[in-house]
Amino acid sequence: MTAVTAREIRTLSAIPAKGQRLLSINLALADVGEVWIVAQELGLRPELVHLAHRSGVAEVHALLWQGAISDTPNNLDEQFDELCDRFPSGAVWYPSGAWIQAA
């Protein structure tokens, strides 16, 4: 058995701020160990987070990527597709905040 030391877990909004995007997996819908293995195979570094919804519900997710839409890695869409193929429907979360384009 492996011991785990509890630490503070970040809480993020389930809907990113304008111009932001995130990629995560809902751990209530997927095996945690498998999520970590697959994420690392894809070159992603999972982080345990809470995603808070407007309703007040918080879900535990493995955050795989977060940042500005304009900084989205070129292969993130392909990684998203791979994750969708490997995990149950609805487990993979890939929202974007409203895109803002400079005038």
pLDDT in tens, 3-40: 555 568 999 999 999 999 999 999 999 999 999 999 99
Query: How many other CB atoms are there within 10 angstroms of residue 19's CB atom?
Result: 16
Distances, alpha carbon 55 to alpha carbons 9, 12, 37, in Å: 20, 14, 31
Strand partners, 93: 24
What letter does residue 89 receive in the DSSP assignment? Answer: T
Tell me the mean pLDDT in the region 90-97.
94
Q: 6 φ, ψ to 5°?
A: -70, 140
Tell me the mean pLDDT in the region 71-92.
95
* Residue 5, pLDDT score: 59
